[in-house]
Amino acid sequence: MSTLEDLDDLEQEQREKKQDQNDGNGKKPEGDGDADMEDADKKDEEEEMLDEDILNSSTADIVTRRRMLENEMRIMKSEFQRLTHEQSTMREKVKDNQEKIENNRCAHSSRARRAHVRFAFESVR
The pLDDT assigned to 98 comes to 94
First to last CA, the chain: 88
Kindly report the number of other CB atoms within 10 A of residue 57's CB atom. 16
d(CA 98, CA 20) in angstroms, rounded, equals: 73
Q: Where are the domains of the chain?
A: 1-8+45-99
Higher per-residue confidence, 64 vs 121 = 64
The answer to which of 65-69, 72-76, 90-94, 117-121 has the lowest mean pLDDT is: 117-121
Give all strands (DSSP E) within 8-85, no chain letters.
Answer: none
Question: pTM above the 0.75 mark?
Answer: no
The answer to which of 3-17, 27-41, 45-59, 64-78 has the lowest mean pLDDT is: 27-41
State the average pLDDT over residues 55-69: 91
